[in-house]
Amino acid sequence: MQRLFLVRHGPTHAKGMIGWTDLPADLSDTAALSRLSAYLPSDARVVSSDLVRAVDTADAIQGGRARSPHNPALREMHFGRWENLTFKNLPPEDAALAKAFYEKPGDLAPPDGESWNAVCARVSDAVDQALSASTQDLIVVCHFGVILTQLQRATGKSAYDTFAQKIDNLSATEVIIENGKWRAGAINHCP
């Protein structure tokens, strides 16, 4: 049995669709970071997305755990031309696409961005590689969308239903892998 702990980075306080924009995390809640670090297995390996909000959060919870290099394949979904925009700020010609993008996640993508299916494939490949590197438990410090891709994998729910899952900043979502089968453990656990 191997466990995967998906940790969402600290808050950025941004209000738009923040994918590949490299915003820092607010890590001022040191008590929450300490509780999160204490909750995670002490002998697990840590890897993070290469975006600063994930890297800095991983640094804050790493403790004495082994660290793997930052992995750009663990980045949030790329929102393309919608990056940093709210729904209210989207170009009018993109309104129908944006609605369909969230209501029917799959192959639809923001202009110059990434579809749900593309981000699932990218992240799943990166997670599989990281898991296969060792039999240790793995802590992945990453992003909302990244966590949802692996949660969908573990639960078998539709992308639409998975999108409805709340994932708080500085929360841990556990996936248990046993004999090649994935299942969800604690979801959105905020110690």
Residue ranges per structural domain of the chain: 2-144+169-184
- Which token pair is 144? 């909302």
pLDDT in tens, 67-103: 999 999 999 999 999 999 998 999 999 999 999 999 9
Phi-psi region of 170 (alpha: psi -120 to 50; beta: other; left: phi over 0): left
CATH architecture assignment, domain 2-144+169-184: 3-Layer(aba) Sandwich (3.40)
- Provide the pLDDT for residue 83: 96
- Provide the pLDDT for residue 59: 98
- Rounded CA separation 161/173 (Å): 16
- Rounded CA separation 113/28 (Å): 32
Mean of pLDDT values over 126-141: 96
pLDDT in tens, 18-75: 999 999 999 999 999 999 999 999 999 999 999 999 999 999 999 999 999 999 999 9
- Provide the pLDDT for residue 178: 95
pLDDT in tens, 145-160: 999 999 999 999 999 9
> 85 Cβ partners below 8 Å, 6+ apart?
16, 17, 79
**Contact between 175 and 1 (Cβ < 8 Å):** no
Mean of pLDDT values over 162-175: 96
What counts of helices (H) and strands (E) characterise the chain?
Answer: 6, 5
- Rounded CA separation 150/156 (Å): 10
- Which token pair is 170? 């500085």
- Provide the pLDDT for residue 111: 97
- Provide the pLDDT for residue 63: 95
Phi-psi region of 180 (alpha: psi -120 to 50; beta: other; left: phi over 0): left
Categorize the per-residue pLDDT at 187 as very low, low, confident or very high, splitting at 50, 70 and 90.
very high
- Rounded CA separation 69/47 (Å): 6
Using DSSP, state whether 166 is helix, strand or coil.
Answer: coil
